[in-house]
Amino acid sequence: MTRKLSRREALVGLAALGTLALPTPARAQDVQPPEVLAVRVPSPLPVDPEAEAWRRARAAEIRLLGQAMAYPFKMRPSVPSVRVRSLHDGERIGFLVEWRDPRPDWRAVKAREFKDGCGVMLLPRGAGATEWMMGTLKTPATMLHWRADWQRDLEAGFQDLETAFPNVAFDFYPPLVGVDRPKLPDGYPADAREWLPGWYAGNPLSQPRKTTPIEKLVAQGAGTLEQLPTQNATGRGVWKDGRWRVVLRKPLRAADAKEVSLVPGGTYAVAFAVWQGAHEDRGARKSITLLGRLRLEA
């Protein structure tokens, strides 16, 4: 008896065929896994992408792939490659991720605006193809995610409606009686914040006041990504001459139960991702590397 394919099964099959049909070098069999050495340097580990210390680490040029494992798919990468350097000082590890981007996308306020970003996924040594797909229940993946919109919030103030629509009119709103053109967060009295449910409930994506452009997350499979309780990752991104240079830094020792802990002399699994706002990248729609190896100098 012949079973009729569901629409979802048909789409997945077509996506798989599309992946096989991609021209070189976008196919996985034509791309090498990352090999990254974290060089030990004296403390403190720099956050500045232009710091001289980054020259101590050898740059790894890593090819990027499209993402066809979880919706929304991205069949071809937005950029062909990233350049990665890594340092550690015995207490923290940092990654300098660089890629070409002719236009920086800082803002994600309008419905059709998407920000630039990059990410690092860390897994224990021995992780393979299954864990590459955002970890598993038995082997959670630790993520560091740099967001260009959070970087702009820190440098220029919270990017709200008036930045996307400078001529917006503010009409009467009962919780803000007597406030002239209020700006988040300082223009909103405490009792007005409960009318902004995301902010009031503590949703990390709704917080107008940022302390870092990096969020530290955990994943146990596709669609399970969530922020870790301890947000102690730091970093900074700089766009200059058509190129992003971004530092992502975190403590070696895990602060939360599902976080990957790193030690000098150890070997771990690592992968990288890039989001390019001009190509409408967001969520799973991103350019990725294969799962490779990260070694920390003793």
Q: Are residues 147 and 197 in the same domain?
A: no
> Does residue 147 contact residue 117 with C-beta atoms inside 8 Å?
yes
Do 217 and 228 meet the contact criterion of CB atoms below 8 Å apart? Answer: yes
Lowest-pLDDT range, 32-36, 70-74, 119-123, 187-191?
187-191
Is the domain of 144 the same as that of 61? yes
As for how many domains the chain has, the answer is: 2
Whether residue 87 is predicted with pLDDT greater than 80 in this model: the reply is yes
Radius of gyration of the chain (CA): 21
Which of residues 240 and 192 earns the better pLDDT score? 240
Share of the chain above pLDDT 70, in %: 90
Residue where one domain finishes, among candidates 189, 209, 229: 209
User: 3 pLDDT exceeds 80?
Assistant: no
pLDDT at site 195:
86
Domain assignment of residue 134, yes or no: yes
Domain region containing 36: 21-158+211-296
Residues 124 and 195 in one domain: no
Contact 260, 142 (CB under 8 A): yes
Residue 265 near residue 296 (C-beta atoms within 8 A): yes
- CA-nearest of 72, 121, 142 to 289 is 121
Mean pLDDT over the full length of the chain: 89
Residue 263: inside a domain: yes
pLDDT digits (tens, 9 = 90+) for 90-102: 999 999 999 999 9
Residue 163 belongs to a domain: no
| Same structural domain, 51 and 189 | no
Instruction: Please check whether residues 45 and 82 belong to one and the same domain.
Output: yes
Question: Percentages helix, strand, coil for the chain, rounded to the nearest 5?
Answer: 20, 30, 50
- Cα–Cα dist 150/215, whole Å: 10
Where residue 144 sits, what CATH number does that domain have? 2.60.40.1190
Q: Are residues 102 and 31 in the same domain?
A: yes
15, part of any domain: no
Share of the chain above pLDDT 90, in %: 74
**Residue 17 carries which side chain, given as an amino acid letter?**
L
Tens of pLDDT, residues 216-266 = 999 999 999 999 999 999 999 999 999 999 999 999 999 999 999 999 999
Q: Are 85 and 59 in contact (CB under 8 A)?
A: yes
Confidence at residue 27, expressed as pLDDT on a 0 to 100 scale: 59
Any domain includes 10: no
What is the rounded CA–CA span in Å between residue 15 and residue 218?
A: 27
